[in-house]
Amino acid sequence: MKVQTASPIRQRGHLRLDATIAASASIVGPFEAKGPLGHLFDRVVQDDLCGQKSYERAEQCLLRGAVELLLDRAEVRATDVDMLIGGDLLDQITTTNFAGRDLGVPLLGVYSACATTSESLLLGALAVTSKAASTVVCATASHHLSAERQYRFPLELAVQRAPTAQWTATGGAAFLLGRADEGLARIVAATVGTVQDYGLKDPNNMGAAMAPAAADTVLRHLRARGQASRDYDLILTGDLARAGLPLLEELLGEEGEHPAHRLQDAGVLLYDPSQDVHAGGSGAACSALVLASLILPRLRRGELRRVLLVATGSLHSPRSYQQGETIPAVAHAVEMEAIV
C-alpha cells in the first residue's frame, strides 16, 4: 500500500468550502458605539460592566447576548443548533465556556487570539460543507478591561501606553452558518494559517509581530486559488492596525502583490483616531464586529462581491513574554462571495 504524502506547500491548509452565512449579530460597549461604525451595530450596552459584578462576567454577557440575538433574528431555536464554535482571549477561553454553559448548545471552544473569528468561521463552514452539521453558530467576544488586566496592567495603575499599542474591542458577534440559497454571503474557500515567528518580543507592538503571518496566509491563499489580490474587492485583515498594515503591504509587495486600496484592517476601521486608541483596535471581537456590522451587509447589497477575511492572532501569553519568549503569530483566511 502506497502512503499518501502531503500536498505541495502552496496547497497545504487550503480548503474548498460551500456554506452560507445566513445571519449575523453584534453587540458593543459604549466606547465602540462612539466610533465610525457605531450606528451599524445591532445593540449597544450602556456601561462596560453590562450590569454584572466583573468585567469577565460582562464579557460572558456580550458573547451570550450576541448568540441569543442571532438566534432570535434568524428564528432558530437553540435546540436546533448542531454546534456552537467560539472563542475569546481569557485564560482557558472561560468566556466561551461559561456562555456555552448557559446556552446549552454543543460547544467547540477554539483559540487563535484575534484570529479566532476566522478560525471559527473556517471550522463551521467545514462542518457544513462536509455535512457533519447543518446549522452552526460561530461566535466570539472580547472586553478591553478584562484583557488589559490579564495581558498588560490594570487600568488603575495608569501605565502609559506605547504609540504602537492597540485597544482591545469590547463587544461580541455571532454568525449563523448553514446551507441555503439565501443569506448574507457564501463561504467558498479558506486557508489555515501557519505559525510565523520573526523574533519580535514587544507585546505592545502586536501588529508588527502578526504582519508576517498575514502575508504568508494571503500569499498561500492566492496561489492555491490561482488568483491575485486585484481579483478581490476587499482583503480585510484583523487586527494589524496602523502599525502592522504598512508592514503587510511591504511584504506582499516583495512578492509582486500590490492590493493598494483593496487592503483594509478591522482595527483601523472600528475606531476614529480622535478616540485615542493609538495604533487602532484589536481583540477577538474586533474583526468579528467589523464583519458583522459593515462587510456582510455590503456583500448582501452587492456593493462587494468578493472578500477575503484574514484575521490575525498574536499567540503569546502573559507568562511567555515575561519569561523572554518571542511572539509567534498566526492568520487564517476565509473567502466570502456575494450570493447572486
For residue 246 the three cell numbers come to 504598512
Closest CA to 172 of 37, 98, 276, 68: 68
pLDDT at residue 115, as a whole number: 98
The DSSP call for residue 256 is T
- Decide yes or no: CATH 3.30.470.20 for domain 188-337: no
**Cis amide linkage into residue 72, ω under 30° from 0:** no
Distance in angstroms (rounded) separating the CA atoms of residues 218 and 252: 8
pLDDT at residue 307, as a whole number: 98
Distance in angstroms (rounded) separating the CA atoms of residues 173 and 164: 26
Same fold, 17-178 and 188-337: yes
**Domain range list for the chain:** 17-178, 188-337
Cβ proximity of 261 and 249 under 8 Å: no
Q: Distance between alpha carbon 145 and the CA centroid of its chain, in Å?
A: 19
Distance in angstroms (rounded) separating the CA atoms of residues 117 and 313: 10
CATH code of 17-178, in short, is 3.40.47.40
pTM over 0.85: yes
Number of other residues whose CB lies within 10 A of the CB of residue 318: 11
Digit-by-digit pLDDT tens for the chain (340 residues) are 343 434 444 478 999 999 999 999 999 999 999 999 999 999 999 999 999 999 999 999 999 999 999 999 999 999 999 999 999 999 999 999 999 999 999 999 999 999 999 999 999 999 999 999 999 999 999 999 998 888 776 666 666 778 888 999 999 999 999 998 899 999 999 999 999 999 999 988 999 999 999 999 999 999 999 999 999 999 999 999 999 999 999 999 999 999 989 999 999 999 999 999 999 999 999 999 999 999 999 999 999 999 999 999 999 998 898 899 999 999 999 999 999 8
Cβ proximity of 330 and 115 under 8 Å: yes
